[in-house]
Amino acid sequence: MKVIIIGGVAGGASCAARLRRLDEAAEIIMVERGPYVSYANCGLPYHVGGVIPEEAQLLVASEAVFREQFAVDARTSCEAIAISPQRKILDLKNLKTGKITTESYDKLVLSPGAPSIRPELPGIDLPGIFHVRTVPDARQIREWLEKGTQFLSGMDRYSGFQTIRPKTRAVVVGGGFIGLEMAENLVHRDFEVTLIERGDQVLNPIDPEMAHIVEGYLERHGVRVELEDEVAEFKQTESGAIDIVTRSGSTYPADIVVLGLGVRPDTALAKMAGLEIGERGGIRVDDRMRTSEPDIFAVGDAVEVKDFVTGQWSLVALAGPANRQGRIAADVIAGRDSRFRGTQGTAIIGLFGGTAAWTGAGEKALARMGDQDFEKIYLYPNSHAGYYPGAKPIAMKVLFRKSDGRLLGAQALGEDGVDKRISALAALIQMGATVYDLEESELCYAPQFGSAKDPVNFAGMVAADVLRGDMPISHWTSMEGGVLLDVREPIELAVEQVPGVLNIPLGQLRARLDELPRDQEIHVICRSGQRAYYATRLLMQAGFKVRNVSGGMLSRTQASFFLQDEIGMERQP
Amino acid sequence: MKVIIIGGVAGGASCAARLRRLDEAAEIIMVERGPYVSYANCGLPYHVGGVIPEEAQLLVASEAVFREQFAVDARTSCEAIAISPQRKILDLKNLKTGKITTESYDKLVLSPGAPSIRPELPGIDLPGIFHVRTVPDARQIREWLEKGTQFLSGMDRYSGFQTIRPKTRAVVVGGGFIGLEMAENLVHRDFEVTLIERGDQVLNPIDPEMAHIVEGYLERHGVRVELEDEVAEFKQTESGAIDIVTRSGSTYPADIVVLGLGVRPDTALAKMAGLEIGERGGIRVDDRMRTSEPDIFAVGDAVEVKDFVTGQWSLVALAGPANRQGRIAADVIAGRDSRFRGTQGTAIIGLFGGTAAWTGAGEKALARMGDQDFEKIYLYPNSHAGYYPGAKPIAMKVLFRKSDGRLLGAQALGEDGVDKRISALAALIQMGATVYDLEESELCYAPQFGSAKDPVNFAGMVAADVLRGDMPISHWTSMEGGVLLDVREPIELAVEQVPGVLNIPLGQLRARLDELPRDQEIHVICRSGQRAYYATRLLMQAGFKVRNVSGGMLSRTQASFFLQDEIGMERQP
Instruction: Choose the weakest-confidence range: A177-186, A415-424, B58-67.
Output: B58-67
Question: CA-nearest residue of chain B to A68?
Answer: B507
First to last CA, chain B: 65
Show residues of chain A in contact with B447, CB under 8 Å. 40, 42-43, 46
Q: Which residues in chain B have Cβ-Cβ distances shorter than 8 Å to A470?
A: 21-22
Q: How many CA atoms lie within 13 A of A493 on its CB side?
A: 16
Domains for chain A: give ranges and CATH numbers: 2-115+264-333 (3.50.50.60), 129-195+229-259 (3.50.50.60), 353-468 (3.50.50.60), 471-573 (3.40.250.10)
* Percent of chain A whose predicted confidence (pLDDT) is above 90: 87
For residue A478, how many other CB atoms are within 10 A of its CB? 6
Going by C-beta distance under 8 Å and a sequence separation of 6 or more, which residues neighbour residue B332? B288, B289, B290, B297, B338
Q: How far apart are CA B178 and CA B204, in angstroms?
A: 12
- How many helices, marked H, and strands, marked E, lie in chain A? 15, 31
What is the rounded distance in angstroms from the CA atom of residue B570 to the CA atom of residue B573? Answer: 10
Q: Does B330 touch chain A (CB under 8 A)?
A: no
| Residues of chain B positioned with their CB less than 8 A from the CB of A330 | none
Which residues 10-69 in chain B show a CB within 8 A of chain A?
10, 13-14, 16-17, 20-25, 38, 40, 42-43, 46, 51-52, 57-58, 60-61, 65-66, 68-69
ipTM, 2 dp: 0.94
Res A559: pLDDT:
47
- Phi and psi for A98 in degrees, rounded to 5? 80, -5
Residue A570: pLDDT over 70: no
Instruction: Single out the residue of A217, A243, A216, A219 nearest to residue A232, CA to CA.
Output: A243
Active site (catalytic) residues of A: 42
Report the share of chain B in percent with pLDDT over 70. 94
Nearest Cβ partner for A573 among B13, B442, B452: B13
In this predicted structure, the answer to whether residue B112 has a pLDDT above a threshold of 50 is yes
pLDDT of residue A167: 75
pLDDT exceeds 90 at position B161: no
CB atoms within 10 A of CB A39: 26
- Write the CB contacts of A195 (distance below 8 Å, at least 6 apart in sequence): A171, A172, A173, A174, A175, A179, A180, A183, A202, A218, A223, A224, A225, A226
Question: How do residues B286-308 score in pLDDT, each as one tens digit?
Answer: 999 999 998 999 999 999 999 99
Whether A573 has a pLDDT exceeding 70, the answer reads: no
pLDDT at A513 over 50: yes
Whole-model pTM over 0.90: yes
First to last CA, chain A: 65
pLDDT tens digits for range B400-443: 999 999 999 999 999 999 999 999 999 999 999 999 999 999 99
Find the CB nearest A447 among B40, B422, B457: B40
Average of per-residue pLDDT across A506-523: 96
pLDDT tens, position by position, B1-38: 999 999 999 999 999 999 999 999 999 999 999 999 88
Question: B12 with A573: CB under 8 angstroms?
Answer: no
Q: What's the mean per-residue pLDDT of chain A?
A: 93
Query: What is the per-residue pLDDT across B514-541, written as a single tens digit (0 to 9) for each?
Result: 999 999 999 999 999 999 999 999 999 9
Write the burial class of residue A563 (CB in 10 Å: 0-12 exposed, 13-18 middle, 19+ buried).
Answer: exposed
Residue A569 has pLDDT above 50, yes or no: no
Residue A188's nearest CA partner among A229, A226, A222, A235 is A222
Closest Cβ opposite residue A445 in set B319, B428, B541? B319
CA distance A220 to B44: 37
Q: Is B458 on the interface with A (CB under 8 A)?
A: no
Task: For residue B430, give the nearest of A437, A450, A571 by CB distance.
Answer: A437
Q: Which of the four pLDDT bands, split at 50, 70 and 90, describes residue B568? A: very low
> Which of B20, B343, B443, B504 to mutate against chain A (most A CBs within 10 Å)?
B443
Sheet strands (E) in A337-402: 347-351, 354-360, 374-379, 394-401
Residue B547 sits at φ, ψ, to 5 deg, of: -140, 145
Residue with the larger pLDDT of the pair A39 and B167: A39
Q: Any CB–CB contact under 8 A between A71 and chain B?
A: yes
Does residue A522 belong to the interface with chain B, where contact is any CB pair within 8 Å?
no
pLDDT of residue A263 exceeding 50: yes
Give the pLDDT band of residue B570 (cuts 50, 70, 90): very low
Annotated catalytic residue B42: yes
Interchain proximity A426–B443, CB inside 8 Å: yes
The shortest CB-CB distance from A24 to any of B321, B323, B542 is to B542
What tens digit of pLDDT does each residue of A108-151 get?
999 999 999 999 999 999 999 999 999 999 999 999 987 754 55
pLDDT at residue A104 tops 70: yes
CB atoms B388 and A51 under 8 Å: yes
> CA–CA separation, B43 vs A524, rounded Å?
33
- pLDDT value, residue A567: 36
Provide, as residue numbers in chain B, all residues whose Cβ is less than 8 Å from the Cβ of A454. Answer: 320, 423
Checking if the pLDDT of B389 tops 80, the result is yes
Q: Which of A206, A423, A540 to mutate to test the interface with B (most CBs of B within 10 A)?
A: A423
Of A258, A284, A286, A254, whose CA–CA distance to A271 is shortest? A284
Model confidence at A194: pLDDT above 80: yes
Tell me the per-residue pLDDT of B185-237, one tens digit each, with 9 for 90 and over.
Answer: 999 999 999 999 999 999 999 999 999 999 999 999 999 999 999 999 999 99
B426 to A449: CB separation less than 8 angstroms, yes or no: no
pLDDT in tens, A435-480: 999 999 999 999 999 999 999 999 999 999 999 999 999 999 988 8
Cβ contacts (< 8 Å) between B444 and chain A: which residues?
346-348, 357, 359, 419, 422-423, 426
Cβ–Cβ below 8 Å for A470 and B510: no
Residues of A in contact with B450 (CB under 8 A): 419, 423
- In this prediction, residues A336-353 reach a mean pLDDT of 95
Give the residue from chain A lying closest to B470, CA to CA. Answer: A22
The burial of A568, by beta-carbon neighbours within 10 Å (0-12 exposed, 13-18 middle, 19 or more buried), is given as middle
pLDDT the model gives residue A280: 95
Least confident of A340-354, A556-570, B198-212, B373-387: A556-570
Confidence of residue A511 (pLDDT cuts 50, 70, 90): very high
Give the residue on B whose Cα is nearest the Cα of A323.
Answer: B452
CA B57 to chain A, closest CA, distance in angstroms equals: 5
CB contact under 8 A, B447 and A507: no
CA-based angle A533:A410:A341, to the nearest 5? 145
> Smallest CA–CA separation between A531 and chain B, in Å?
9
Question: Does the pLDDT value for residue B566 go beyond 50?
Answer: no
User: What part of A 137-176 touches B (C-beta under 8 Å)?
Assistant: none
* For B388, nearest residue in chain A (alpha carbons): A52
Mean pLDDT, all residues of chain B? 93
